Amino acid sequence: MSKQTREVERRVWALLEPVVAVDGYELVEVEYVFEEGRPIVRIYIDKADGGISLDDTTAVTHLVDPVLDVEDPIEHAYTLEVSSPGLDRPLRKPEHFSRFAGEQVRIKTEKKLEGAGNRRNFIGILKGYHDGTVTVDVDGTLFDVPHEAIVRAHVAYQFDEEHVR
């Protein structure tokens, strides 16, 4: 992920988090990506009572679109997408890492971590968050990953083989 991409995501996050909070939504993640050459700003939202409907995504789109138009944090045209976190819910805030302790997760760091066997990718059971550190159990080995080193983290939903056809 480039420095420019991270900066766009940071600016959009700072603009939109208080806007969506006013109507009771939580900003879960902001992604700035290029798909098939098209720039996309994708925001993921949630709400305390759980579950995001199509009406919620439409309402939040109407909330944030004018803010992005006025503040203009991106210097070129892009597509705005508003979505629920989904099964592979992004984890970003410290409270996300605490709330989803016990779940299977995928974590990617910006650089290889020396104290973690020079790895960047961690797939395992999230143990939680404490004092700026995310702890993940990868096959019985605990790794402490500095929160600020994490580029992306997601719940890695596990399908129960019994229910997969």
Q: What is the CA 27 to chain-centroid distance, rounded?
A: 9
94-161 carries CATH number 3.40.50.720? no
If one compares 101 and 164, the residue with the highest pLDDT of the two is 101
Residues in a beta bridge with 39: 34
Domain 3-83 falls in which CATH fold? GMP Synthetase; Chain A, domain 3 (3.30.300)
- The pLDDT of residue 165 is above 60: no
Confidence of residue 76 (pLDDT cuts 50, 70, 90): confident
Q: What is the predicted pLDDT for the residue at 160? A: 62
Cβ count within 10 A of residue 12: 24
Please give the structure tokens belonging to residue 160: 């129960």
Mean pLDDT of the chain: 90
Q: What is the predicted pLDDT for the residue at 164? A: 47
Query: What's the whole-number mean pLDDT along residues 44-62?
Result: 90
Q: What is the predicted pLDDT for the residue at 161? A: 61
3-state secondary structure the chain: CCHHHHHHHHHHHHHHHHHHHHCCEEEEEEEEEEECCEEEEEEEEEECCCCCCHHHHHHHHHHHHHHHHHHCCCCCCCEEEEECCCCCCECCCHHHHHHCCCCEEEEEEEEEEHHHCCEEEEEEEEEEEECCEEEEEECCEEEEEEHHHEEEEEECCCCCHHHCC
Q: What is the predicted pLDDT for the residue at 163? A: 47
Confidence of residue 6 (pLDDT cuts 50, 70, 90): confident
pLDDT tens, 123-138? 999 999 999 999 999 9
Q: Which of 69-73, 82-86, 118-122, 156-160 has the lowest mean pLDDT?
A: 156-160
All structural domains of the chain with their residue ranges: 3-83, 94-161
